[in-house]
Amino acid sequence: MLATAEKTADDESREFQRGTPNSVLHIDDVHKSFSGLHALSDVDLEVLEGETHAIIGPNGAGKSTLLNVCVGRLKPDRGAVVFDGEVLTGKQPHEINQLGVARVFQTPEVFPDLTVLENIMVPALSKRDGHFRVNPFKDFEREASLRDEAVATAESVGLQAQLTAQASSMSRGDKRRLELAMGLIQHPRLLLLDEPTAGMARHDTNATIDLLKKIKEGGMTKVIIEHDMHVVFSLADRISVLAGGRIIAQGTPDEVKNDPKVKEAYLGEEQV
Ligand code: ADP
Ligand code: MG
């Protein structure tokens, strides 16, 4: 719970909301500015167990900033992020990861000098051992069971033909799938994805949608930031719309699609 000096009636009602029994992630009144630019203001968001929650909004709306606040890369100026009852704000990214939050960034972050298989094994090893390590010449050879799981995970994202490819040689779309595999092998309680299909051809986008649907059947809670409305409407149970750093609409895909505020926010951009 958050430390508050004095509780107001408003705080009481928010405590009640935070107590929603099936809430996995609660973003509580988050603000973040960059030298005077309000990237996030008054952001409240609740992600429920097992749902796929999409965060959409025009370019520069604050979507990536919000995700970076959730994973501990950015510290909010105000407010907090609560995961499974535990306050994440103030924790380091690796601590948040150890609690069961995995992420796929907008710019794929893979180990360029390692192979596909080795890249997938790194987070699995770190998770198991409770610390991060990369020692490809010693560790990977000895880890037969993890290797099998890594191969299966690579297959699940369609990278089975590239197991020994060096990550630096891969296309951006393939790196994205690799990063997704690196997230999935951790079996996270919550998976945060920042535009997982950006840079992919339509065929690969559809394959990723199918994969994310399959993961959903397994019950994993996901937050997905996405620009591609085909992906959003294929996957989302609920949608939050950010514009100018504020949540302007929240609801089911149908509710959001028909919200005039959302249409207005997207004027000059793509159709919602
Ligand atoms: P989105 O992901 O929705 O496109 P971002 O969260 O990346 O938007 O950015 C929101 C706003 O904050 C933009 O105006 C962006 O230029 C600004 N911004 C993001 N990160 C930084 C940063 N590290 N320093 C300064 N400004 C930033
Ligand atoms: Mg972004």
In a domain, 200, yes or no: no
Q: For residue 194, is it within any domain?
A: no
Q: Is pLDDT of 104 > 70?
A: yes
Q: Is the dihedral of CA 236, 238, 241, 245 positive or negative?
A: negative
| Residue 194 token pair | 């920042």
pLDDT in tens, 173-186: 889 889 999 999 99
Residue 75 belongs to domain spanning: 1-97+222-272
Whole-angstrom distance, CA of residue 40 vs CA of residue 247 = 9
| Residue 34 Cβ contacting ligand 1 at under 6 Å | yes
Q: Is residue 204 part of a domain?
A: no
Per-residue pLDDT band for 1 (boundaries 50, 70, 90) equals very low
Nearest ligand to residue 55 Cα:
1
The model's pLDDT over 11-58, given as tens digits with 9 standing for 90+, comes to: 444 443 444 668 899 999 999 999 999 999 999 999 999 999 999 999
**Is the domain of 1 the same as that of 91?**
yes
Residue bearing the bigger pLDDT, 191 or 129: 191
What pLDDT shows up at residue 8?
Answer: 47
Residue of 55 and 9 predicted with greater confidence: 55
CA of 132 to the centre of ligand 2 (A): 26
* 205 is a domain residue: no
CA 39–ligand 1 middle distance (angstroms): 6
Task: Specify whether 133 is located in the same domain as 173.
Answer: yes
Distance 31 CA to ligand 1 centre (A): 13
- Residue 34 covered by a domain: yes
Look up the pTM and report it: 0.85
The band of 117, judged by pLDDT with boundaries at 50, 70 and 90, is very high
Q: Give domain status of residue 210, yes or no.
A: no
Q: Which amino acid is at 159?
A: L
Band (pLDDT 50/70/90 cuts) for residue 132 is low
- CA-wise closest residue to 58 among 209, 226, 254, 255: 226
Q: 106 or 119: whose pLDDT is higher? A: 119
Give long-range contacts, CB 8 A cutoff, 24+ apart: 169-175: 170/116, 171/199, 172/108, 172/199, 173/199, 173/200, 173/201, 173/204, 175/108, 175/110
Q: Is 171 helix (H, G, I), strand (E, B) or coil?
A: coil
At 2 the pLDDT is: 44
Two tokens at 92? 């380091």
| Token couple for 262 | 């959302």
Q: Distance from the CA of 101 to the center of ligand 2, in angstroms?
A: 19
Q: Is residue 215 part of a domain?
A: no
For ligand 1, whether the C-beta of 135 sits within 6 Å is: no
Q: Provide the CATH number for the domain around residue 69.
A: 3.40.50.300
| Residues 79 and 105 grouped into a single domain | no
Q: Quote the crossing angle between the two packed helices 144-156 and 172-184, to the nearest 10°.
A: 130
pLDDT at residue 141 greater than cutoff 50:
yes
d(CA 175, CA 114): 12
pLDDT band at 188 (very low <50, low <70, confident <90, very high): very high
Provide the pLDDT for residue 80: 96
* Residue 174 forms part of a structural domain: yes
Looking from the CA of residue 106, the nearest atom of ligand 1 is 2
Domain count, the chain: 2
Which 8-state DSSP code applies to residue 107?
S
- Residue-wise pLDDT tens digits, 226-257: 988 899 999 999 999 999 999 999 999 999 99
Residue that finishes a domain, picked among 164, 187, 210? 187
2 and 93 assigned to the same domain: yes
Query: Do 70 and 110 fall into the same domain?
Result: no
**Quick one: 148 and 135 in the same domain?**
yes
**H or E element at residue 265:** helix 260-265
Query: Please, what sign has the CA dihedral across residues 261, 262, 268, 272?
Result: negative
Are 116 and 82 part of one and the same domain? no
CA distances, 137 to each of 21, 112, 125, 142 (Å): 46, 16, 14, 10
Percent of the chain's residues with pLDDT above 90: 59
Is the Cβ atom of 30 under 6 angstroms away from ligand 1? Answer: no
Among 1-5, 87-91, 139-143, the range of highest mean pLDDT = 87-91
Which pLDDT belongs to residue 269?
Answer: 64
Q: Are 83 and 28 in contact (CB under 8 A)?
A: no
The chain-wide mean pLDDT, for the chain, equals 86
Q: Select from 160, 187, 214 the last residue of a domain.
A: 187
- Band of the pLDDT at 201, cuts 50, 70, 90? confident
